[in-house]
Amino acid sequence: MQKRQLGKSGLEVSSIGLGCMGLSFAYGPALEQKAAITLIRDAFDKGVDFFDSAEAYGPYTNEALLGEALAPIRDQVVIATKFGFKNGRPDEGLDSRPETIKAVVEASLKRLKTDRIELLYQHRIDPQVPIEEVAGVVKQLVEAGKVLHFGMSEAGPDAIRRAHAVLPVAALQSEYSLWWREPEQQILPVLEELGIGFVPFSPLGKGFLTGAIDANTRFAEGDFRNVVPRFTEENRKANAHLVEVLGQIAEGKGATRAQVALAWLLAQKPWIVPIPGTTRLHRLEENIGAADLLLTPPDLAAIATALEQIKVVGDRYPAHLQKNVNR
């Protein structure tokens, strides 16, 4: 698989990473540990060297899983993880106090069975702690060799600039896909200006863009999509046209919808690295195959024209979670 640089940070990763959250959190029952470890190692064998986790995924279980899976190949991979929620639980609120950040990193290092974290993200901006203070603490961790690069997640332009002035931000992680293009308005220009990489999560629209979800789909108990406005039965029906158009384009390329959606992201900027997640080997192979799919300028123009005719319906977060985004 080809490699990409995350901005000007010097951090080089596979052009497609693996988002590990869904292996143990948010999308129904966790995958059995042995199967999850096998999937992670299969990803590495197929060229993926960029693995994304967080203390909040579980909480804690996802980092422990990743630590176990990557231990034999630790020096050949890049691990990203996150801090920022009280006790690692989003429902308990935000916590980016300096003492919390330091404690979280120490605990994460143990769970990940490592002596350093290549990319440490602030999971969400904490309005109670100045971002300069947060960046300053991470800078201390970088100087101590426990963290190699600083990242932010779902942050707005002002916070990005202020943090970057204290410690260069290597990457921003936020949602970006064919059905959530808001980052194009303000985020991508700032990242390009400052030389910051972009790591889109939910690059397949939480599975919707694959075509595997329709108005009749029933999600498992505990699946986050049960409370996402965009995934109500009515909104799934309204958004089906986007999947139809994506299918037409994919058929013309001899590819799948997922591959076109990922290839579209890769074509936007050379410093964009999507991190699709999956629990199935055939989906993993499909996603990785997107790295070899070249969308030509006419292809991209056709997609742009089609998107202009489509209005995506429904918010991407329930209201109580939306308030933590783009501060």
pLDDT in tens, 200-241: 999 999 999 999 999 999 999 889 999 999 999 999 998 999
* pLDDT recorded at residue 233: 94
Look at residue 309 in the predicted model and tell me its pLDDT. Answer: 87
DSSP 7: B
Q: Annotated catalytic sites, by residue?
A: 57
The domain covering 3-207+269-292 belongs, at the CATH homologous superfamily level, to NADP-dependent oxidoreductase domain (3.20.20.100)
pTM assigned to the model:
0.96
pLDDT of residue 319: 82
H/E element, 52: strand 50-52
DSSP assignments along 178-224, one per residue:
TTB-GGGTTHHHHHHHHTBEEEEESTTGGGGGGT---TT--PPTTBG
Question: What are the per-10-residue average pLDDT scores of the chain (327 residues)?
Answer: 97 98 91 97 98 97 98 98 97 97 98 98 98 98 98 98 98 96 97 98 96 93 92 93 92 96 98 97 98 94 89 88 77
Q: At what angle do helices 257-268 and 240-253 cross, to 10 degrees?
A: 90
pLDDT at 251: 95
Domain parsing of the chain, residue ranges: 3-207+269-292
pLDDT of residue 323: 76
Which pLDDT does position 182 carry in this prediction?
95
CA diameter of the chain = 54
Nearest to 267 by CA among 12, 2, 79: 2
Please spell the DSSP secondary structure of 241-274, one letter per residue.
HHHHHHHHHHHHHTS-HHHHHHHHHHHH-TTB--
Q: Give residues with Cβ within 8 angstroms of 143, minimum separation 6.
A: none
pLDDT of residue 139: 98
Q: What's residue 324's pLDDT? A: 79
